[in-house]
């Protein structure tokens, strides 16, 4: 039976918003909030962090949660993913899920639905992060370890290595069965990822509206954004860049 590896990239060296995964959120940190939002997958998670000496807080968080982790190349995130999976003995047919720790609003149900769809369909790669109608910040990618290994062995460009999956869904897209997991509605206008200071302000405001509880659903989140459209103005300028 195929094993499931949910590999989460996390680093302290983001240039636009340094140390963003350790920013304060809900009385803890962004990374801890993210991990608590997907707590059902605790035993499947590997935090793929860097080996540049800046990562100690990330490693300590992984240890405190009892979560597996791996230190790898700061810039070659593709190698970090591959080596993380190899360290924990992934085989060709095992399932790799890619998430990023700068998405502290990711809904566990969306994650589950993407994984279940991948398991039941005859496909090589599934994502909800392109044109599926989900907000930026709900990104999930699912594929077999053998595709990750293919990318690791054959990807050439810095872009392919920095972003992990372009070799699969762009460079070699005609060789693989690729599926976009679709949202029921188009919510792509919402930007809910954490890249810049304005994103951070918005995410804090969203959690404040939920009294800093961590178990609100995707539907509750969208309902809030629809009821309080002024929230969207916080990071509107980023979307226009």
Query: Can you give the pLDDT at residue 240?
Result: 58
- Name all domains of the chain by residue range, CATH numbers in brackets: 4-189 (3.90.550.10)
Query: Can you give the pLDDT at residue 241?
Result: 54
Query: Can you give the pLDDT at residue 49?
Result: 98
In 82-188, the DSSP E strands lie at 95-100, 125-127, 141-144, 178-180
Query: Can you give the pLDDT at residue 69?
Result: 98
Helix (H, G, I), strand (E, B) or coil at 230: helix
Residue ranges in the chain modelled with pLDDT below 70: 237-241
Q: β-strand 45-50 against 95-100: which pairing, if any? A: unpaired
Query: Can you give the pLDDT at residue 239?
Result: 61
**pTM metric for this prediction:** 0.96
Q: How far is CA 165 from CA 69, 102, 106, 131, 146, in A?
A: 20, 17, 19, 16, 13
Dihedral (Cα; 9, 11, 14, 20), 10-degree rounding:
100
Pair 34, 106: CB distance under 8 Å? yes
Query: Can you give the pLDDT at residue 149?
Result: 98
Pair 109, 138: CB distance under 8 Å? no
Query: Can you give the pLDDT at residue 103?
Result: 97
Query: Can you give the pLDDT at residue 232?
Result: 84
Pair 135, 192: CB distance under 8 Å? yes
Structure tokens at 105: 């609003």
Q: What percent of the chain has pLDDT above 90?
A: 94
């Amino acid at each position: 039976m195929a094993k499931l590896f949910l590999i989460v990239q996390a680093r302290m060296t983001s240039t636009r918003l340094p140390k963003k995964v350790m920013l304060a959120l809900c009385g803890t940190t962004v990374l801890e909030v993210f991990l608590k939002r997907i707590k059902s997958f605790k035993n499947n998670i590997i935090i793929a962090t860097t080996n540049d000496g800046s990562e100690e807080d990330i490693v300590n968080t992984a240890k405190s949660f009892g979560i597996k982790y791996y230190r790898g190349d700061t810039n070659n995130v593709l190698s970090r993913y591959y080596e993380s999976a190899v360290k924990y003995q992934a085989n060709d047919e095992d399932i790799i899920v890619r998430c990023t720790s700068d998405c502290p609003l990711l809904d566990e149900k969306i994650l589950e639905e993407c994984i279940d769809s991948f398991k039941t369909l005859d496909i090589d790669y599934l994502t909800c992060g392109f044109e599926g109608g989900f907000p930026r910040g709900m990104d999930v990618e699912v594929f077999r370890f053998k595709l990750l290994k293919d990318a690791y062995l054959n990807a050439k460009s810095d872009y392919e290595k920095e972003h992990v999956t372009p070799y699969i869904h762009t460079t070699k897209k005609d060789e693989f069965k690729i599926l976009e997991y679709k949202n029921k509605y188009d919510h792509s206008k919402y930007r809910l990822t954490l890249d810049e200071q304005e994103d951070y302000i918005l995410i804090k405001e969203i959690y404040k509206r939920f009294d800093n509880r961590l178990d609100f659903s995707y539907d509750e989140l969208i309902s809030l954004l629809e009821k309080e459209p002024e929230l969207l103005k916080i990071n509107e300028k980023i979307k226009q860049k």
